[in-house]
A and B are shown apart, each in its own frame.
Chain A
Amino acid sequence: AQSVTQLGSHVSVSEGALVLLRCNYSSSVPPYLFWYVQYPNQGLQLLLKYTTGATLVKGINGFEAEFKKSETSFHLTKPSAHMSDAAEYFCAVIKGGSYIPTFGRGTSLIVHP
């Protein structure tokens, strides 16, 4: 069975500071990895995904994530936080050959002026 751990249910940063949201997974086979963002009272929006190829993946809104197999991690980063980045972020894993994602519990990003 696969699982996803997002370290820190809340992350607080100042506007302009680096954003780092952590995601570690366990999977018996190489997985596909996703980050989603959820704004209040809205559905999830795909930020980026890793399937194969380059391990550094660039997504929308200036976010990127790096797949590190040796660390079983897929941390999400953004060099400079904007107030509009305040939202809930979910990491998800799909085992190769499957279509059912396993989601982490989510990390709430708080951006201070």
Chain B
Amino acid sequence: NAGVMQNPRHLVRRRGQEARLRCSPMKGHSHVYWYRQLPEEGLKFMVYLQKENIIDESGMPKERFSAEFPKEGPSILRIQQVVRGDSAAYFCASSPGTSGGSTDTQYFGPGTRLTVL
């Protein structure tokens, strides 16, 4: 039973380019969460998605960032026109959605480390 998969594991982009980060949830999981981790800081929530729906994007920057979780295929976090401040580790987590809300255990992927030159 494969865990949460993220690719690429490392991504290097120049300022102004686009970054696409992919997340495949655990089998049977229909809820996906994206987090950003800056050096020596905890994870910060970005967005919560279910299949074809954005449930909560309160942690997403208003511009340049978008996320989707299509009916088929992985969830995508897209960052347009990247800047140096976007350099961070981006983690995806998935949950089955069976416990409901607060107590639903989230399983984390290994992360994508984005470096903007």
Contact = CB atoms under 8 A, between A and B. Distances in A.
Nearest to B10: A41
Nearest to B3: A43
Given A43-B4, A43-B109, A44-B108, A51 B43 contact: no
Interface string A94-113: 11111111111110000000
Contacts of A44: 43, 91, 93, 108
A26 to B, nearest CB: 15
Interface residues of B, number: 26
Interface residues of A, number: 27
Interface in B92-117: 93, 101-111
A45 B91 CA distance: 12
Contact of B56 (A4, A36, A42, A100): A100
Interface of A: 4, 9, 32, 36, 41-46, 49, 51, 90, 92, 94-106
